[in-house]
Structure 1
Amino acid sequence: MATILSVSGSPSPTSRTTRLLRHLDDRLRLQGHDVTPLEVRTLPAQALLGADFRHPAIVEATALFERADGVVIGTPVYKAAYSGLLKSLLDLLPQYALTGKTVLPLATGGSTAHVLAIDYALRPVLSSMGAAHIVPGWFLLDKDITGGESGEGGGNGAPSIAPAAAEALERVTDHFSAALGGRTTVLARTA
């Protein structure tokens, strides 16, 4: 199946966005994909802020994008846009780093006032980077993602997602998987 890079643009080590992505990674693996997680916050701050294109960690992150068939981009929404941390990484990638790739944009936030951040802030950047296909993204309210830390949410580190949000998220994820040639019909609901 496809090689997928799952990128969390959250600066927080206890991020709901990251927990959500790791949950989706598991679903995508069950559908036959090879998924590599990347948490931008783990990259060296000096390299990101100093635009050090040649730093080994940035070179490796760039290579992960190159090898991927599909990319999941997850971000919390701050001030009606994707995170500055994610912006720092995207700025260091080659102009057309997403050429030929299928991309799934996801965002989390505290209010439905931020729901358009995917379409008006993130999607244009992903498009300008040459994405072949940007599937419909999804926005989840922070309150719809609970647990998943230190054994919460069932004890295995998996987050609990509100039923309506989980169902919609599964549809979006399965659409992305199908666009990459994944098995989507064999999975039952996971939430």
Structure 2
Amino acid sequence: MQGNDEERSFEKNSKIRDLVYSINFVRPLPQNLFSTIFMTNSLEFKIGNTNVNLMLDERNNNFVKQIIFTGDEVQKWVEYFLIYLKEKFSLKLEDIVWCYEVYLELESDYNNKKINLNIPSVLPLIGNVTNYGIIITNDQDFKMISRNFTTVQIDKRIRLIKRSQDYINISSLLRDLQDLLDKLKI
């Protein structure tokens, strides 16, 4: 019960500005498989309030290497897609999915508070880009090429990129983000 109250308070204080959920495949899947699932031959289409983009393999345009969901009901449609793959086509997700990736951008009243760390308020980033805030990551070289990593950028907005070989639940991702913000006393 207490966890639900915390999640609601975090959601009250935050507004998701941008939410993208992508699934990258180990090997490209036939495009007609997606046509069967979503009943369209288009590479870009909308289901409910969610936009779906199919990224074709450069080597063969009849195969899809990545599917991208953006919008309000992302989690619902990702789950629908994965369940359909498992049930209808008897596919093991661990055999076909290389990684799941979520990009999340929040506007929050946390952004108006100072970060309680003894570090400069202006941090240089890679190259000659400068932002106000902090970046926390477990990606060693910031190249985002590994299969599992999480990067959080806290400045005027809160941005989070998480990639994992395991399925990512957005609600638990938001809880983890709130725990991080609480530790930083934001």
What is the TM-score of this pair, normalised by structure 1? 0.25
Counting strand residues as a fraction of each chain, which structure ranks higher?
2
Larger Rg: 2
